[in-house]
Amino acid sequence: MKLENVAVYTMAEYSDIFKCDMAINSEVVSYQTVQSFMDFLSINENQCDICAKTVHQGNSKFWFNQCAGSITASNFFIKYHMKETTNKTNIVKLLMNYCPMEHIPEQLEWGHQNEIAARELYFKKLSSKHQELTVAASGLIINHTWPFLGASPDRIRSCNCHGKTLVECKSLFSKRILLPGIAGSENFIKTTKGFQVKEKTSWYYQIPDDHYRNSSH
């Protein structure tokens, strides 16, 4: 059995290597330098395959380190809607996770617990409609072409009849006394095929695109 050593760098480490190679000392860089850094980022398939190692997501230090500096599905909406007046310092703090939460707020803890129940109900309702259905935990999925893009879906659904589908659960603490259809009405529209996420919502931008799907093996 052949063992291979794979080095997986964080975005911060890639930045340090790039600055060292380019002898960059200033915190202010040009657009051309930014483009050069984007071209500098390159990972192979082995380095990209960290999904299984980060399935614990928020409970994994490795997951936090790999997410820091990346544009992920959860923060894509904020980055996409940045304006000239947007406080860039706060965006950098968010992007680099410079101010991690010391304690999980009640709202997030409530959401996590209800997401567990939602996933169980999801599997129960769909198991009879799909062949060999599985709903497995997922870690961080990194795009091979654009390694600064990533997503950590709640689950990956697999079956023999449809292949793989990414699953995202939402639990709204502020609307916890409402029925699910009413609580999510601001983010969904009803179509002839069911419900669809409205395009001008943060939920829409959080839906991992096809390039995330193609990065998931």
Q: What is the number of alpha carbons within 13 Å of residue 213 lying toward its C-beta?
A: 11
Domain membership of residue 96 (yes or no) is yes
Domain membership of residue 70 (yes or no) is yes
User: Rounded CA gap, 136 and 202, in Å?
Assistant: 25
Domain membership of residue 7 (yes or no) is no
Domain membership of residue 194 (yes or no) is yes
CATH number at residue 214: 3.90.320.10
Most confident of the following: 56-70, 97-111, 196-210: 56-70
pLDDT digits (tens, 9 = 90+) for 98-135: 777 677 788 888 888 888 888 888 888 888 889 999 98
Residues β-bridged to residue 150: 72, 142
Domain membership of residue 67 (yes or no) is yes
Torsion of CA 75, 79, 81, 83, to 10 degrees: 140
| Other CB atoms within 10 Å distance of the CB of residue 103 | 7
Residue type, 120: E
Check residue 3 and give its pLDDT: 47
Domain containing 54 equals 48-217
State the pTM of this model. 0.74
Domain membership of residue 39 (yes or no) is no
Residue 6 pLDDT > 50, yes or no?
A: yes
Question: For the chain, what is the domain count?
Answer: 1
